[in-house]
Structure formats: C-alpha cells, structure tokens
Amino acid sequence: MPIAPMTNAVGIDLGTSTIKVTCGDMRYRIPSVIGTPNPGWTGMATDKSWLNNLIIDDDGTDVYIGELARLQSEIRKPLASEGKMKSVKNSVLALKAILSLIMKSTYEQFVISTGVPIATGVAESKELIKSLKGTHEIKVKNDATGEAKQMKILVENCFVMPEPYGTYWYTLKNSGVTTAVDSIIVDIGHGTTDILCMYKGNMMRAASGSLEEAVDSLTSALARAIQDKTGKIVRPFDLMMAIEKNKKNILVGGKAINIDSAMSQAVTSIADVIVDESNRLLNNLPPDAWIEKVIVCGGGAYVFGDYLRQAFFDANIVKKPEEVLTPPDAVMSNAIGFEMIAATKLKK
Ligand SMILES: Nc1ncnc2c1ncn2[C@@H]1O[C@H](COP(=O)(O)OP(=O)(O)OP(=O)(O)O)[C@@H](O)[C@H]1O
Ligand SMILES: [Mg+2]
C-alpha cells in the first residue's frame, strides 16, 4: 500500500524586522528583507548554512533572502514596514525560499498559518492566501557553496491572521484554558508594537491597532541620552546588543558609562505610551468585556515586561499584576501558536 505523503504544519510570523518560522523542532529567525543579487567572493564564507546563504530564483532572476540580503545586497527591500506587509509578491517569494529550508525531500505538502502585522489590509491578506495556496516550483541556491536545489511544494491550505493571535492561541492552549478569555495581547517588536483585543473569542478590529513605540524607540532614546551626556554619537543599532544582554555599563569613546538611569527613564516613557494606547483601544470594547489577561510578547517583553506588569495593574486594566503574563518564548510565541493552529487543520 502506498504511504500517503505527510503534510507539514508550519507556523510563520511575518514581522517587520524578522520572520519567525516553526515546524516541528525546526525554529528559524530570518531578517524580513529580500534584496538584489551581488555576486562575488563566494566559497570563502565560514558560514555555509542554507539559512544564511539563501538565494531564490524568481523567473530567471536571483533574489537574496534574509540574512544574505541584509549583509550583501545593494538594494534591500523590507517585507513589512509602518506596521503593514509591504508587497505580497515579495513576501510569497521569501516564504517559498523559507519553506525550502524545512523540506527533507523534493516534494512536500504544507498547511501554513501565518501572522501578518496588524495594520495589514484584508485585501493584502486575501491576496497572500491566494498566492500561497496551490503548487509551486522552487529553485534555490546556496551563495556560499553554489549548490542548487529544485523542489515542488503543495500548499494545501493557508491561513492569515494578525500576528499577536498566535501568542493568544499558544497561551490559552498552554494554560489548558478551553473557553475564550477576554484579553489584550501586546506584541512589542523591533519597529512596531501591535495590540490585539480579544472579546468572547473574537478579534476586535476597532479595539486593536499598532504603535511605532517599540524596542527601536528605546535604542533611539538611549542613543540621544548618551549623546547629550558624552557628546559622542552612538548608533541605536549598536545599543541593541547591550539591551539584550541587560548591560548596565557600556563603552562610549573608550570610556565606560552607566546607562541604568537613562534606560529606566526611556523604558518608563515608552511603556506608558503603550499602556495609554491600550487604554484608549479598550474604550472600543462592549461594556460587558472583562479583561482577564494581558499577554505581553515579542522581544520587547524582555525589556518592558516587568514595568508593564505594574503599569497595567496601576491603570486598572487588570485586577492583579499576575494577570499580566509573558509566554515562555516571547519572541517565537506567535509562530508557535500559528503552528498549533495549522496542525489543527491537517487532514485527518
Ligand atoms: N532577550 C531579549 N532581551 C531584550 N531584548 C530582546 C531580546 N530578544 C530580542 N530583543 C529585542 O527585541 C526586538 C526584536 O523583537 P521581535 O523579534 O519580537 O521583533 P519583530 O517581530 O521582528 O519586529 P516587529 O514586531 O516590529 O515586526 C529587537 O529589537 C531585539 O533587540
Ligand atoms: Mg513581531
């Protein structure tokens, strides 16, 4: 008896700065950028992984994907910005290339569930579903080794939802809750914070939105504070590592300076904006809504999480600080939730 080919359930979070992908024990974070080819000096790279050397063929033209585009392309196109998906065509191209990373054979089937930034329009979401469903030929190349692969995929089904919904689903399933709980999910990313309100299991459009205050506003504010204090210019990007490692002292122009107080000032003012906006959005919920959980996710949860727990409580949005929670893997939680959703749609 022939064995029916297996279908992979894949969860994707198409963020403005990184795409997250999960499928079984595979987890990837890929910069949300594609770019023009810029060949040269290949074969010397120490990192020969497909993930970081990914090229896809687009009707005869090479397109660099993710890290390779970020590092080597002269013209780079972000897949999303200003809280929206930019181009469906480019997103599909990147997603096809990314699916090739998951494949173990030359033909595989997928059910995909993907999150897009909250301000992405319905038309774009529908177009994304339409363009992803069906069969695709994929031709990819590894820039470091020159190795080429050709494969075919069938996307049996595809679901597109606002990014934070993945974390909502993941948190509910993880905590064993079976009934819908009125919640706010606050996804603090690099360039945008998405706020999604859930009421009786429905995503409430008028009570959801996005903000430009996010982790990069924190690094910019810090950079300004450091410049005021030392007269030296620091690039916000270079402060990202210091923030991720929770460093109190950093080296500026050869001198150690303490960023503790500048950091807490910036965290406070940005977190306050996030709480204010959540409060404003909550006004659009029906009066019988009862927020039982505020779920904070995204990389920003690591920086703003503690302050937000108290601030949401002080603003009377939750009744106890413990009702503000962060999932175990706050950066991947949307994608993990989407993979769980995709898994429920697999044909039995
Ligand atoms: N462990 C950590 N501690 C502190 N900051 C972190 C940590 N991990 C990631 N970050 C920061 O969080 C940001 C990335 O978060 P995330 O991956 O959620 O953003 P994104 O989804 O790509 O962006 P967006 O939601 O705007 O599309 C980066 O600015 C990074 O510096
Ligand atoms: Mg995000």
Residue 138: predicted pLDDT: 97
Nearest CA, atom 2, ligand 1: 244
Q: What is the rounded CA–CA span in Å between residue 170 and residue 330?
A: 11
Residue 15: predicted pLDDT: 87
Q: What is the pTM of this model?
A: 0.93
Are the C-beta atoms of 190 and 331 separated by less than 8 Å? no
Considering every ligand atom, which ligand is closest to the CA of 83? 1
Q: Which residue ranges form the domains of the chain, and what is each CATH number?
A: 7-162 (3.30.420.40), 165-328 (3.30.420.40)
Q: What is the rounded CA–CA span in Å between residue 68 and residue 310?
A: 41
Quickly state the pLDDT bin for 44 (edges 50, 70, 90): low
Nearest residue to 291 via CA among 214, 213, 207, 212: 207
Q: Which residue has the tokens 């120490």?
A: 46
Identify residue 89 by its one-letter amino acid code: K
Percent of the chain with pLDDT over 90: 79
- Residues contacting residue 337 through CB under 8 Å, at least 6 positions apart: 11, 165, 166, 167, 168, 169, 170, 171, 173
31 ligand 1 Cβ < 6 A: no
Nearest CA, atom 24, ligand 1: 189
**What Å distances lie between residue 280 and 67, 195, 284, CA to CA?**
38, 11, 8
- Residues contacting residue 260 through CB under 8 Å, at least 6 positions apart: 248
Q: What is the pLDDT of residues 176-213, one digit of tens each?
A: 777 788 999 999 999 899 999 999 999 999 999 999 99
Nearest CA, atom 1, ligand 1: 244
